Structure 1
Amino acid sequence: MQGDTQGLPLSGVRVLDLSRVLAGPWSAMVLGDLGAEVIKIEHPERGDDTRDWGVRVGQTETAYFNSVNRNKRSITVDLQTPEGQQIVRELAKTIDILVQNFRFGGAEKLGIGYEQLSAENPRLIYCSISGYDRTGPEAERPGYDLVVQGEAGQAPLKFGVAAVDLFTGMYAAQAILAALYERQRTGRGRHIEMALFDCGLMITAYYGLEALLIGEDPPRYGNAHPSIVPYGVFDAADGPLVITVGNNAQFERFCREVIERPDLAGDGRYTTNILRGRNRETLLPELTRELGSRPRRLLLERLARAGIPCGEVAGLREALLSPRATQGGLVTQQPHPHTESGTTPVLAPPWRFDGERMPVRYAPPQLGEATQAVLQSALGYSAEKLAELKDKGVI
């Protein structure tokens, strides 16, 4: 299947990924997952920063890098050289989409800003990702996920993954697809600008609106839900489980059929979800005591019969190796020339079209593995020119 895009939604679309680390590469990977040809530009020696982050895979990759760079081809170009900048300008004439996350003004200094490239390719969709609004006073301030999480009113303990980066990448991919659709009507591209801070505020969702309505930061509930009670992780006699009681009818069944406490179902303090939220301090100790006195398997069986969403708490590795994940094709094994087993695990895209999961056409690339092939096919560079550029350290 490698490289085959026939029948995929974005077949024929070409993307130049000039971004690094997470938000930008994530958005470009989404496009690659959906069938676009994605060319990732990296520094000839160090490559993307994330090639040196986390668990090593082979000689040039890591688990971090591999998680955001499947379905791409890597070419190495030194953008600090005039020849390297010229290569990008030439490639930009042949593509549909460019993604970059240079610091404010960095792309323009290299001669590869939106105005510079769109003058030669008016159909170009150009996505700039930065920490803060590029039209505001903090345009030049570098942005990092953790900094934005702190400023966006998050709890002192950050998300386990860089959620702001990931959401920014998804928002960016959505905007790019919208611009691609619009281009069918207008024939012209767009300059899309995404800021981590903006996206971080957006994903506060109902927490953000509640903060504005009540005039202060909402209370922090950990694994519990701010609006739904009971909802969260609870301890059975022999291990944790997740219980999500989403409406009043479920709560009544939960009390009568699961924990055998009809008195709680009939208590006027708990008859509606709003009342349960107000009186959680008296309700939750009762529920915790009842759940803790029963084995997990019994509780899960009763919850399932009562139609209440529930589940065991699994470790990350356990979840990835579960029948649900393996039967769904969510974890693939891709060939790799520099691992002991000759393969490496790569997560599959989450989308299904007409019942078929989007494929992993390319494993996360080794540094610069496609440089010669791409420059020959896309720009017609001769073997002599490629050798000259390599001797100069440009590629």
Structure 2
Amino acid sequence: MDLPTDPPESDEHMGRNPAKPPEPAGEMWNFVASLADRKAFLNQLGEGVIIADVAGRIIFVNDLARQLHGQARLGVGPEQYSETYRLFTMAGDPFPIEDLPLTRAVRHGEITRDTRWRIRRADGTEILAIGNARPLYDDHGRHIAAILTIRDDTQRHADEQALEELVRAKDVLLHEVNHRVKNSLQLVTSLLSLQASRSQHDDVRQGLLDASKRIAVIARIHQRLYSTGDHDAINLGELLCDLARDNVSAHGGDGQIAIITDCDSFNVGLDQAVPLALCATELITNAVKYAFAGRDTGTIRLSAKRSADGSVEIIVADDGIGLPPDFDPRQSPGLGMRIVNALVSQLRADFDVASSAAGSRFILRHHP
């Protein structure tokens, strides 16, 4: 059966002599007769089908629509759709008559898609339905009927709800994990700091304090994951700026070392955030300790950018005394540079160093 759903162009518009159209009532009866001829076909469809005449009275309900509603009353008009077929909104309220897809198709010629509602059958069972509705037109463009197709959405909706519940449970678990990791790392930093305060040897004390600060960087990352609720990614630009300011404040001595940051706001995964943050922290710490020997003041600049291809560039520069002429970052005996080299290797990143009398510049480029 051909069910035209859009008004055709008129004969006059198509350049033909317009024929006198048949009476609307005759077309409607022809349409109803065609439904009777095609009943077996419509009952084989995998969707429920309900058809209403131009006045909105239901004239056909196929077998699947009958099963979904638990009934198949004909002659029902729009004012009785919700009450007769027991239709409710997803929130559980009676479905407003004017908002029903079939009503909108009948009265306003509207096409609606993927509308959802509840059907509460007389036997007490309830299903979730999803459906589309549209007006039907005859060959002369006259509105003669409207059709509603329905599918049972109950199982899909239940699966979706179950998946959402699993995601919520995962979020709660990860939230708790990050909270516990953060607390454990803070405990370790506190123990190292306490041990450092009791040490009688300057080298041992400094080593313990440095280890404590490195662990504190990782704890800071888990603190951000815990507080933001995003367990898979972290805003690296914001993190590096905060760490840089805290680092210089802790080591710079009465604000004599200035820090200038230029960091974009962008997210990276945790597996990238930890090594990149540690690298930046080590480079800034080295600058604070060694770049301004013989001077009371200085400036450190931190830049963190992400390009269109996803690569991340971190630059730590200073206006200090520069590096020794024979300085090779990959052969440096210092623990800080050894940590940076190990992390650069882990990330498979590019690491370049430039130095002059105007200061030094460390550039790290990571291509995920």
TM-score range, shorter chain: under 0.3
Q: Normalized per residue, which structure has more strand?
A: 2
Query: TM-score, normalising length from structure 1?
Result: 0.18
Tell me which structure has the larger Cα radius of gyration.
Answer: 2
Structure number with the higher helix fraction is 2
